[in-house]
Structure 1
Amino acid sequence: MKLRRRHRQRTKGSPKWMTTYADMITLILVFFILLFSMSQINQVKFEAVAESFRNQMIFDFYPSPVENDNPTNQSKLEENGEDTNENDERIEGSDVQADAEGEKEKSEEEDLDELLKEVEDFLANNELQDIISATRTEQGVVLVLQEKLLFETGEADILSSGEPFLSKVGSLLESIPNDVKIEGHTDNRPISTVEYPSNWELSGARAGSVIRFLTNDNDDLQSERLSAAAYADTRPVAPNDSEENLQENRRVEIVILDEDYSS
């Protein structure tokens, strides 16, 4: 009896190890694609590059490598001296805008100078220039009233001797349409009373007392134009190292705001 030989069936296709290897490579590729998709793009650099392409400055001086669909039309425009680039219009528009902004700033400066002169003339005519000082800042025109003109030390009730000066200031504010901010300032010496636990409460109470007097004394002064601010000892005008400097820091400032600053 003869033994039958079993013939091994040969499988078609790639070897099994190659399939496993290909799966591994595919998984690694997917892994790195996932890492790339989760990475963050530098937004600042990206916007800078994008803006450089938007300006299209480089294309104004070099011919485009892309062939024009209508080269004859393009050549006609160049022969006639017509420029299809919009960059010149953009630059011209920016120059016009810059000139307009410059004119606006110049006008605002002139308005503030005129306002300061008007305030100084008012102080001189009412003999207040030695009592109330006027300066100009980026906010507007600032009237500085020292503590001794309006208050007792550590108090927020307006002295009767200071009321005539405040009445004249109120008349000035009535004639000016600008908004007004009343700021209270103190020196750095601590205060701790039942009524004023700290300099914050004292400076705020003094600013409020000035606003209350101005609105009560001047019927035509609209209260919605006024605002109060308390700064305590955070904005000194002199070092708190002498009695004279301490007195300078204890003050109330009436800021006649520039129209653009108040808006």
Structure 2
Amino acid sequence: MKRKKQGNVKKGSPEWMATYSDLVTLLLCFFAVLFSMSSIDAEKFQAFINSFNNSVNMFMGAETVGKGTAIGNGINQLPDFEIMYYEHLNMDPEVEGDNLEELVQEFKDFIAENGLEDQIAVEAKDNYIKLQLIDDTILFDTGQAELKVDAIGILEILSKELIKYRENQIKIEGHTDNIPINTEKYPSNWYLSSARAISVAEYLIEEQGFDPKKISADGRGEYSPIVSNDTHEGRAKNRRVEIYIYVDEFDEILAE
């Protein structure tokens, strides 16, 4: 009986893997085009990049394209892809912090021009601007959540600058000191702080025309103090309302 001759066994990866690699590359390019035509959240895009960078290399010994690394190493297959992407959109990921500081300075100038330095503090944090309404005695009566006349006046002035951010997500946070409250209307500081945040949110929506879809209210009670509650002064600082403006599109706001 004649034995069949065994064919030559090709070394390296199977031939189908090259075709599959090409398909993956085409899909990657397709998604890149989709990204270039859409409005991108920089943080989400960075997470997208990282997910590819951290992927397991499935194609050990696979061919590379250009000067990139192996196809199985995901996004790194395209050299300097992230830099190319931002350049294509005329975006610089390292400039965002400077733009945010510029927006904060505009708020500070506005607050100073209107004599509200003792009532409102402003600072930049990551991807948002935080406005802190400092003196709660101007905002609310003790144990109450209805805005006082002076508080309405402050919010009315502040809204003239805040309206620039009407398309951004805005969160209102209410905070209290650690003195317990237990009334029929407000069983705890959580209820009171939430009601105060809602009062500010309702004013912005009902009196200043902000989109309720862009506004949220959150009560933190006594659980996020900025200083110790051991003194009268410390407790006064902890009783506050904070407005968080989440800023994603800097250029549009700066152009206004």
Scaled by the length of structure 2, the TM-score of the pair is 0.64
Q: Structure 1 pair 138/174, CA: closer, same or farther in 2 (3 Å)? A: same
Structure 2 residue 151 is the aligned partner of structure 1 residue 162: yes
Amino acid at match of 1:129: E
Paired position in structure 2 for 1:233: 222
Amino acid at match of 2:123: T
CA positional deviation for 1:52 = 5.2
Residues paired across the two proteins, number: 184
Unaligned runs of 5+ in 1: 1-49, 60-83
Deviations 1:115-163 (A, max 9, x none): 2112112111211122211011124111111312201121111111221
Q: Structure 1 pair 213/174, CA: closer, same or farther in 2 (3 Å)? A: same
Scaled by the length of structure 1, the TM-score of the pair is 0.63
Paired position in structure 1 for 2:82: 97
Q: Map of 1:74-223 to 2, 5 A cutoff?
A: 85-86=64-65, 88-90=67-69, 91=76, 93-97=78-82, 100=85, 104-146=92-134, 147-176=136-165, 177-219=167-209, 221-223=210-212
Runs of 4 or more, structure 1, over 6 Å off, are: none
Q: Structure 1 pair 198/95, CA: closer, same or farther in 2 (3 Å)? A: same
Q: Structure 1 pair 156/94, CA: closer, same or farther in 2 (3 Å)? A: farther
Q: Secondary structure at the match of 1:129?
A: coil
Q: Structure 1 pair 55/128, CA: closer, same or farther in 2 (3 Å)? A: farther
The answer to whether the Cα contact below 8 Å between 1:55 and 1:87 also exists between their aligned partners in 2 is no
Structure with the larger helix share: 1
What's the Cα RMSD here?
Answer: 2.5
Q: In the aligned structure 1, how far is the partner of 2:246 from the partner of 2:206?
A: 21
Q: 189-198 or 174-183, which moves further after superposition?
A: 174-183
Paired position in structure 1 for 2:45: none
CA positional deviation for 1:107 = 3.3
Q: In the aligned structure 2, how far is the partner of 1:190 from the partner of 1:96?
A: 55
Which is greater in Rg?
A: 1
Deviations 1:185-218 (A, max 9, x none): 1111111000000011000000011111222221
The alignment-based identity, stated in percent, is: 33
Amino acid at match of 1:121: D
